[in-house]
Amino acid sequence: MNMTTDHCWQERWERFSSKQRLEEGLVNIGKPGHTLEGSKVKEAHDGRAAAGYYAFGTAVGRLTESQGLQILQSLAELQITDKTSPHYGAFRWYREETRVHDSNAAFFILLPLVVLRTFLEEQVPASHQQMMDRMFEHSAAWFEHELKEPIFYYSNKIVSDGAILLAISKLRSLPQQLQASLAFFERWLDYTERRGWGWGENISLIYIQVTMNALQLANVSLSAENDRLKERIGTVMNGLIDYVRFHDGYEFVPTIRSYQVAGEVHPSSFMWTLAGVQTAQSTTEWDYLSYLLFEEELAKENEGATLKVPRSRVERIMDSSYAHTWIGTTGRMGSVNRFPVVAGSYQWPTWGLAWQSYPVSLAVEGHQVSYLRWYAHDGEQVRTHPAAYEKAYLGPALFKEAWYPDTQLRSMQHNQALLVVRSMSRLHNEASELADEWVVNRWTGERCTFAGADGREWTILRYPNSAVLVTPLLGIAYGHSSRHAPVLQPIMDGDTLRLRQVLYAGDKQLLQQPRLETGWAIYYADGISSQDEATALAARLRLVESSYKDGEVPRDTYTELRSSRLYRDEEQLAELIIDPHKLESGEM
C-alpha cells in the first residue's frame, strides 16, 4: 500500500468507523435489511458491512487480533457449510436470515477479505488467515457451481463470481477451480465480444465500478502464462473507462440500473477518479477497495483530455440494442433504442430492471435529470417504473398481479432530437389510473405552450440558457383500438413537474386490452435564453405521423404500422417506424 492509498484508507476509517455499530461481530445497520427476511426486522446485522469493517481495520492496524477473530467467526456463521445443500459455500446476507435470499452475498462479503489477502497478506494474522481459508475453500464450491451455468447477461454478478474464484484458486492452490475460472473468463469474453453486455450494466455507473473491481482482481490474479487473457480483459476495462470519461462527471443519460430517482446531475463515484475526470469525488466507505485494487493506475498521471462539445456517442449494449447520448453546452439527452434490451428482464414479482432504469433521460446543468416514467395506481398504492429503491426492491412490478403486459420502448435519436414510442401489449391487470409521465424534479423554470408549424401544441420548459420542448405522439388509450392525439396534462406535485399522458383514470377495475401506446417527441434547445427564442423554435417544428396497413400480413387497427417524423422547417430531425407485429415477436 503506497502513501496515497494508506492516507485514503486512514481517512475513511476515521470518517466511517465511528458510525458502525458492531454487535457480536456483525454491523447493526440500524434499519431493516433489503432481503425478504431481512426486511422484516427492525435492525439487521449485515455481513457485507462487517467484512468491510474488518478489512478496513486490519489494513490500518486498528483491530486487535481477538476483535478480528470475532468478526471472522460471525462471518463464518453466515456461510452455508452443509455439503448436501444446493447453496453449499454461499452466504446469508444478514444474521437474521434463515436461508440464502441474495446469491450475491457471497462475493460482496468475500471481496474485502480476498482483496486484503491478495494485496496485504502480511498484515493479516495467521489465526485470521486460517479462518479465512476455511471460508474460501467452502466458497470455492459455490462459485464453481455458479460458473457451471453462468448467467452471462448479469455481468457484475457473474464476473465477480469468476474473479473471486480465480483469486481464491491462487491463494489456496486449487487447480480444478483455477481451470474453471479461466474457462469462464474465456467464455464470458467471447459472449461480450459477440453479443454484448446482457441486460445493460455497461451503461450503469454503479455496476461498471463493481465490474471493474472484479476484472482488476482477476487480472492481478492471473499468472504470466495467461497474458493473452489478461490483454483481453484489459481491452474490456479500457472500453468501460472510456465510456465513463465520455460522460465527464454527469449521471449517464440514458442509464440502466441506477437508483437516481431524485434526478441528481452529478452522482458521486470512484469511477470519475479512475477516468481522470475532474469532478466531485466519491465519499462512500466502499471505495477503499477500489483505491487498493487500482493503486498503480491512480499513481500515474491521469489527466483526462478535453472533450469537444457538442458530441454524441452510440454505445452497443446487447445485440441490436444501443444507448445514444448527445451532449451539448448546457445539457445532455440520451435514449436506449429498445428497452428492455433482452427479453424477460423487464419485471417479475421479485426482480426486474424496469424499476431501476432510465431508458430516456435528459440532464440540464445546475438543475436535474428528467426522465420518462410509467405510473400505475392499483386503488391502494402507486407503482412506478422507475421507482425509489426503498419502495420497489421487494416489490418491483408495475402491477400487483403475478402476470404482466409485455412492456416495450422503441426510440430514434439524432443529436438533440428524439422520438419515442412506449407500449403495453396484452394488458390484463387491475388499476384505477395508468399514465406515462415526463418527470422533472425540483422544477423552478418557466413553462408555456406554443403551436408548432402543423398546429401541434408543444410544451416548453425553459431554463436560463436552454429549453426542453415536449409534445405527445399519437397513442392508444384504454377503451380505444386506434391511434389518436392525446392531451398532455401538466401537474405540479410539490416541486416536481409531471407532464402526463393518461391512458386510464376511473374506478378500479380489471383493464383488458390487446395494446396501449404512448409516444413522445422531445427536443433539447441548447443556448436558448429567452421565451421568444423558444417559441420561435417551436413554431418551426412539425410532426408527420401516419398509421397504415401494408397488405402483407393481417393487421387490426392497433397493430397497424406507425411512422413518426420530426421536422424543423424542411429538415428532417428524426424518424421512427414501428411495426407492432415485429416488436411483439422480438424482431425489432
Spell out the alpha helix ranges (H) of 173-301.
Answer: 175-194, 205-221, 227-247, 270-274, 288-293, 295-299
Q: Report the candidate in 18, 79, 72, 81 with the shortest Cα–Cα distance to residue 50.
A: 72
Spell out the alpha helix ranges (H) of 280-323.
Answer: 288-293, 295-299
pLDDT tens per residue across span 53-84:
999 999 999 999 999 999 999 999 999 999 99
Bridging pattern class, strands 457-463 and 489-493 = unpaired
Mark the ranges of the chain whose per-residue pLDDT is less than 70: 280-283, 285-286, 302-304, 585
* pLDDT value, residue 52: 94
Q: Report the candidate in 476, 479, 458, 485 with the shortest Cα–Cα distance to residue 545.
A: 485
3-state SS, residue 347: coil
* pLDDT value, residue 281: 64
Exposed e or buried b per residue across 364-384, where buried means at least 16 C-beta atoms within 10 angstroms of its C-beta = bbebbbbbbbbbbbbeeeebb
- The pTM score is 0.96
Q: Report the candidate in 515, 516, 339, 513 with the shortest Cα–Cα distance to residue 413.
A: 339
* pLDDT value, residue 60: 92
* pLDDT value, residue 201: 98
Q: In this structure, what C-alpha cell is assigned to residue 344?
A: 424477460
Q: Report the candidate in 203, 337, 343 with the shortest Cα–Cα distance to residue 260.
A: 203
